[in-house]
């Protein structure tokens, strides 16, 4: 879910009550789809303690079809196949048992198909 | 050369102090701060610090390193400034750049005649993963920290796009490290006084692709400070003073993913425009600059944002040698965050410390000949805060 400005249609993640583009405070919830294109990525080798067992892991920013960008970890076994522009989809599948809320992402990205 | 119009200074720096930067085992932040303050006091014999300094603004990023909040009164009293009011300013890595602005406002408003501004961070008593986590608190908690972002990671996300859009290469980023280590080797206060080769940088281990060990700034303990007054009083107190003629600060979206462009740091660009306008100077008038090279890509982007080269040309700019000592605009003569070190809260005023030395002819083997106008560029977080100051020799 994200929040959309009723006046200028700007979509905000994180959701908030005042639009940073036009300052309107008329905002509404909007359901995002699951598909998008990779805008940029990195592979984190030196991580904070909570993520250490995952490292190296890929993190990226994905431009969703609705025109809002989302950051997240990209779950892939082929780190070298990451490419700007590639299609990814949101992955809500179960999280690791080791760490619980709040130190854990609620969604990931994965390759489509 | 066009001589810029001599605008009226906002405030004047009559002294500057810097602790030794490095892994300072067994030394607390407050002791580092006192070390920097003592050096600043020694430069101005006319000053009675405990009596004359009326307020202190001290940048510090996190209480997590030493389990110590409310630390401005500690730092200021260790520097012998009891009972002058002391206030901590926190803007991540731009904390002391922002503290400097607070000091300028205090002087310019006429509220105080003499103030101390500075910053400190004691980072090395935590292991690297913990430090990585503490630094990451300066990124968004639910969307960046939860998603495994780190500071090297955030800047790597910018580097990836810069490489993709402009063809910037890992070698060009490495050239920033080579240059700054070369400068740092000439700075006795620097954390790492060691030259490195392009090959060593390229072969160093990965931290966050494409950023390698030598693309990253150091985890450092250190403190810095400046003494500010108004221009009239400066003449009475010191022979070595430097005027602040421009000060700009701006903000951008807190999260990186919300920015329209990842190849520029808009907050810094706007801060620079504000400072240039106030100082009535242009990018080509700058003789020497300290820019926020927390990662090598950040220096490349800074050179573009500050107008030292065109957008996308930052990699070629450093490769050309233009930013070497002896080049057209020497950048990070101190060694920068890369080699001098990056005790985050201390960085903003440490940059200005170096420029104070440059403009008063005290930079020793790093001296830039005939430097008159200098610029300091300080970032907070992944660029949600940008602070730029412009200085002029007296
Ligand atoms: C890059 C980084 C992860 C390396 O930390 P590390 O893996 O714990 O490295 P160590 O402390 O174990 O040091 C290992 C060696 O590398 C050297 N080293 C450490 N960091 C270095 C750096 N950034 N550049 C060059 N050399 C470095 C050390 O001096 C040491 O050398 P030695 O073996 O000769 O004594 C760490 O310096 C870092 O996180 N830097 C970025 C800090 C940051 O994000 N700041 C905020 C920016 S906004
Ligand atoms: Zn709007």
pLDDT digits (tens, 9 = 90+) for B39-79: 999 999 999 999 999 999 999 999 999 999 999 999 999 99
pLDDT digits (tens, 9 = 90+) for B126-154: 999 999 999 999 999 989 998 999 999 99
Asked if pLDDT for residue A102 goes beyond 70, the answer is: no
What count of other Cβ atoms lies within 10 Å of the Cβ of residue B63? 14
Residues pairing with A73 in the sheet:
A59
Contact predicate B109/B360, CB 8 Å: no
Identify which of B129, B161, B262 has the shortest CB distance to residue A48: B129
**Mean pLDDT of the A8-24 span:** 95
Q: Which of A13, A19, A42 to mutate to test the interface with B (most CBs of B within 10 A)?
A: A42
For residue A113, give how far its alpha carbon lies from the nearest alpha carbon of chain B (Å): 23
Contact predicate B49/B78, CB 8 Å: no
**Mean pLDDT of the A22-46 span:** 96
Does the annotation mark B294 as catalytic? no
> Where residue A1 falls among pLDDT bands split at 50, 70, 90?
confident
Residues contacting B10, CB < 8 A, separation 6+: B104, B107, B108, B243, B244, B245, B246, B247, B278
Give this complex's ipTM. Answer: 0.94
Expressed in angstroms, the distance from the first to the final Cα of chain B is 18
For residue A72, give how far its alpha carbon lies from the nearest alpha carbon of chain B (Å): 5
In Å, what is the CA distance from B323 to each residue of B165, B246, B303, B309?
23, 22, 9, 11
Ligand 1 neighbourhood includes B241 CB (under 6 angstroms): no
Answer whether B205 touches A (CB < 8 Å). Answer: yes
Q: Which residues surround ligand 2, an ion (CB under 5 A)?
A: A 5, 7-8, 10, 19, 21-22, 24
Asked if pLDDT for residue A101 goes beyond 50, the answer is: no
Give the DSSP letter of residue B316: H
Could you give the CA distance from residue B97 to residue B78 in angstroms, rounded to a whole number?
A: 22
**Mean pLDDT of the B19-43 span:** 98
Q: Which of A3, A37, A39, A47 to mutate to test the interface with B (most CBs of B within 10 A)?
A: A47
Using CA coordinates, name the residue in chain B closest to A68: B258
Does the annotation mark B225 as catalytic? no
pLDDT digits (tens, 9 = 90+) for B219-254: 999 999 999 999 999 999 999 999 999 999 999 999
Q: Which residue has the higher pLDDT, B34 or A53?
A: B34
Using CA coordinates, name the residue in chain A closest to B136: A48
Asked if pLDDT for residue A96 goes beyond 70, the answer is: no
Q: Is the pTM of this model over 0.95?
A: yes
Contact predicate B283/B141, CB 8 Å: no
Could you give the CA distance from residue A94 to residue A30 in angstroms, rounded to a whole number?
A: 24
pLDDT digits (tens, 9 = 90+) for B245-279: 999 999 999 999 999 999 999 999 999 999 999 99
Mutual angle of helices B128-136 and B151-166, in 10-degree steps: 70
Q: How many residues does chain B have?
A: 394
Q: How far is the CA of B220 from the centre of ligand 1 (A)?
A: 9
> Where residue B357 falls among pLDDT bands split at 50, 70, 90?
very high
């Amino acid at each position: 879910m994200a929040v959309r400005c009723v006046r200028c249609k700007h979509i905000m993640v994180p959701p908030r009550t005042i639009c940073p583009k036009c300052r309107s405070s008329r905002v509404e919830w909007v359901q995002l789809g699951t598909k998008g294109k990779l805008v940029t990525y990195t592979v984190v080798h030196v991580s904070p303690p909570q993520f250490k067992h995952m490292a190296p892991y890929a993190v990226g920013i994905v431009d969703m079809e609705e025109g809002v960008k989302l950051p997240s970890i990209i779950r892939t076994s082929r780190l070298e196949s990451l490419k700007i522009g590639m299609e990814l989809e949101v992955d809500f599948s179960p999280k690791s048992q080791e760490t619980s809320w709040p130190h854990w992402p609620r969604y990931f990205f994965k390759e489509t198909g | 050369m066009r001589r810029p119009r001599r605008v009226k200074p906002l405030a004047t720096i009559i002294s500057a102090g810097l602790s030794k930067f490095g892994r300072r085992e067994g030394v607390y932040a407050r002791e580092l701060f006192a070390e920097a303050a003592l050096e600043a006091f020694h430069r101005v014999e006319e000053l009675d610090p405990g009596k004359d300094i009326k307020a202190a603004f001290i940048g510090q990023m996190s209480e997590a390193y030493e389990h110590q909040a409310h630390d401005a009164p500690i730092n200021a009293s260790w520097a012998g400034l009891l009972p002058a009011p002391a206030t901590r300013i926190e803007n991540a890595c731009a904390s002391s750049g922002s503290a400097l602005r607070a000091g300028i406002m205090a002087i310019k408003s006429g509220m105080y005649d003499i103030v101390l501004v500075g910053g400190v961070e004691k980072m090395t008593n935590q292991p690297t993963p913990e430090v990585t986590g503490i630094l990451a608190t300066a990124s968004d908690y639910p969307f960046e920290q939860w998603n495994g972002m780190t500071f090297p990671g955030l800047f790597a996300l910018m580097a990836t796009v810069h490489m993709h859009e402009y063809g910037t290469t890992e070698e060009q980023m490495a050239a920033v490290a080579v240059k700054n280590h070369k400068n740092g080797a000439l700075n006795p206060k620097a954390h790492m006084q060691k030259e490195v080769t392009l090959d060593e940088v390229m072969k160093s281990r990965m931290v966050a692709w494409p950023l390698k060990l030598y693309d990253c700034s150091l985890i450092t303990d250190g403190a810095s400070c400046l003494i500010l007054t108004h221009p009239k009083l400066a003449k009475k107190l010191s022979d070595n003073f430097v005027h602040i003629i421009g000060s700009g600060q701006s903000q951008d979206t807190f999260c990186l993913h919300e920015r329209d462009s990842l190849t520029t740091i808009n907050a810094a660009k706007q801060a620079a425009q504000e400072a240039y306008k106030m100082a009535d100077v242009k990018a080509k008038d700058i003789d020497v600059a300290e820019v926020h090279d927390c990662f090598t890509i950040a220096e490349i982007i800074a050179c573009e944002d500050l107008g030292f080269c065109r957008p996308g040309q930052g990699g070629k700019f450093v490769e050309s040698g233009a930013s070497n000592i002896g080049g057209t605009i020497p950048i990070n003569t101190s060694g920068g965050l890369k080699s001098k070190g990056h005790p985050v809260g201390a960085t903003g005023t440490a940059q200005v410390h170096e420029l104070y030395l440059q403009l008063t002819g005290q930079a020793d083997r790093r001296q830039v000949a005939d430097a008159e106008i200098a610029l300091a560029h300080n970032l907070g977080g992944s660029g949600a805060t940008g602070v730029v100051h412009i200085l002029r020799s007296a």
